[in-house]
Amino acid sequence: MYGQLTAVDMRVPGYPAFLASVFAFAGQSTKAAMVAQIFVDLATCFIITLIAARIAPEASRRRVALGGLWLAALCPFTANYTAVILTETLVIFFTALATLVLLQTDLGATALNASATVARRGAFLSNPWFLGGLVVGFGTLVRPETPLLLIAAGLILLAKWWRPVDWRKLVRAGLLMAVGLILPLIPWAARNWRTLHDVQFLAPRYSELPGEYTPLGFTAWTNTWMWRFRDVYLSQWKVNDEEIVVSQLPPYAFDSDDERERVSDLIDEYNEALTIDPNLDQGFREIARQRTERHPLRTYLKIPGLRMLTLWFTPRVELLPSSGHLWPVREEWQDDRRDFLVTLGLTAVNAFYLLLALAGAWIARRRPGVALLIVFCIVRTLFFARFVETPEPRYVLECFPAVIALAAQVFTRRVMVSSAAK
């Protein structure tokens, strides 16, 4: 009935619970929520410092930790999200904390501290495998893809413990992480079963309401061409809300004039009702199938590859009053120099962090724990480039604790050089 609250499961409850806790003390003030997120972000900076120090050589840990703290505190991309009511700040915190906990396991153990790691296995509740899974479980209540960190850990363990003699350790670590992950999700799953009679530990894949139709055919079609973030505004984010203008879509959305006309007819039909029903969706699905048959590598390799570039190599101005446009350079410079300089500056800052991280990963490539940071970034990037319908740069911000911790490792090399000079 209109005007009544309706129970749904379209979003996991962690972030609403965080906001409710803030509002309970400070009233329904978005400024209070932003202040709370600032403190969460500051805590994340110190956790990143500990991660950087954990994978650094003992003689260099203080210098690396200080470098990591400065890099984390000065990073504009994570700081921007403290000023908006979005999940990024909180889930970055849980991701960083879970990473630090998992580095206390065999994933980050050296030959010198392996015996200490074994000694901690006796206590179940203090076991780092269980605690790592538990923190990921709470993070999953904020964003459902948080278990990608455990998938990365599992892949490393499979590579490390593939011999039969190690299978017992592999199974034990996997079970402990799984139990830790599931425990925080049980109340949410129980609520969904009791209220909605649905077995749902996370949230619906496409965040749809009960009984709502999801236009997967339309998504299949956009997956054959959409790789720029600006194209999301022209297509996916208009569905069921605004008219889609065919002339605004990029040329690479069509393989021929005939295909453009077919798409135009379908979009005209959509614009009449501002909804995509199953029959209309089937038309988009058929065009997607034909485009994939003609160019399978484009759908399965090229577009995901270009989406990876969008996820990582952008100015990250989606929260700022800036266009994010750099090309053509002459026109952008003449039209709005301030906007151009802001975009260019943030592009350079993003590149600076990534280049430092690559250099740090190379310097620390043989150290325990580095593999977890690298594999997690790869797993998360592949997941969002291939299996998520919109290439939003914010989706890899959860990788920035790993990026910054790796970037801080460049300070190790400076210490080594100075020591050699002496």
Query: Residue 253 and residue 161: Cα distance in Å, rounded?
Result: 45
Please say whether the beta carbons of 363 and 413 come within 8 A: yes
Look at residues 311, 332, 361 and tell me which one is the last residue of a structural domain.
311
Query: What digits encode the pLDDT tens for the residues 98-137?
Result: 999 999 988 876 544 544 454 455 566 679 999 999 999 9
Please say whether the beta carbons of 212 and 11 come within 8 A: no
Q: How confident is the model at residue 336 (pLDDT cuts 50, 70, 90)?
A: confident
Give mean pLDDT, residues 135-164. Answer: 95
Q: How confident is the model at residue 26 (pLDDT cuts 50, 70, 90)?
A: confident
Give mean pLDDT, residues 25-43. Answer: 92
Task: Name the residue range of residue 117's domain.
Answer: 14-205+344-421
Whether 317 maps to a domain, the answer reads no
Whether 210 maps to a domain, the answer reads no
The region that residue 251 occupies, defined by phi over 0 for left and psi between -120 and 50 for alpha, beta otherwise, is alpha
Q: Are residues 59 and 188 in the same domain?
A: yes
Q: How confident is the model at residue 11 (pLDDT cuts 50, 70, 90)?
A: confident
Give mean pLDDT, residues 396-406. Answer: 97
Look at residues 288, 311, 334 and tell me which one is the last residue of a structural domain.
311
Q: What is the pLDDT of residue 388?
A: 92
Percent of the chain that is helix, strand, coil (3-state, to 5): 70, 0, 30
**3 state SS of 249:** coil
Q: What is the pLDDT of residue 123?
A: 64
Q: Are residues 71 and 173 in the same domain?
A: yes
Please say whether the beta carbons of 346 and 352 come within 8 A: no
Q: What is the pLDDT of residue 271?
A: 94
Please say whether the beta carbons of 135 and 128 come within 8 A: no
Query: Residue 357 and residue 130: Cα distance in Å, rounded?
Result: 29
Q: What is the pLDDT of residue 113?
A: 52
Q: Are residues 227 and 98 in the same domain?
A: no
Percent pLDDT > 70 in the chain is 93
Number of domains in the chain: 2
Query: What digits encode the pLDDT tens for the residues 58-98?
Result: 889 999 999 999 999 999 999 999 999 999 999 999 999 99
Q: Are residues 186 and 250 in the same domain?
A: no
Look at residues 311, 336, 370 and tell me which one is the last residue of a structural domain.
311
Buried b (16+ CB within 10 A) or exposed e, 98-131: bbbbbbbbbbbbeeeeeeebeeebeeeeebbbbb
Whether 110 maps to a domain, the answer reads yes
The overall average pLDDT reported for the chain is 89
CA-CA-CA-CA dihedral for 268, 269, 271, 277, to nearest 10: -150
Q: Are residues 201 and 227 in the same domain?
A: no
Query: What digits encode the pLDDT tens for the residues 250-271?
Result: 999 999 999 999 999 999 999 9
The H-assigned helical ranges of 55-87 are 61-74, 76-80
Q: Are residues 287 and 145 in the same domain?
A: no
User: Residue 192: how many CA atoms within 13 Å on its side-chain side?
Assistant: 19
Q: Are residues 189 and 238 in the same domain?
A: no
**3 state SS of 320:** coil
Paired tokens of 187: 């109340």
Whole-prediction pTM value? Answer: 0.91
Whether 256 maps to a domain, the answer reads yes
Whether 68 maps to a domain, the answer reads yes
- Identify the residue whose tokens are 């160019």: 295
Whether 331 maps to a domain, the answer reads no
Please say whether the beta carbons of 394 and 88 come within 8 A: yes
Q: Which amino acid is at 59?
A: A
Q: Comparing C-alpha atoms, which of 358, 365, 372 is closest to residue 152?
A: 372
Is the pLDDT score of 219 beyond 90?
yes
Q: Are residues 230 and 284 in the same domain?
A: yes
Is the pLDDT score of 318 beyond 70?
yes
Give mean pLDDT, residues 208-221. Answer: 86
Q: Are residues 226 and 193 in the same domain?
A: no
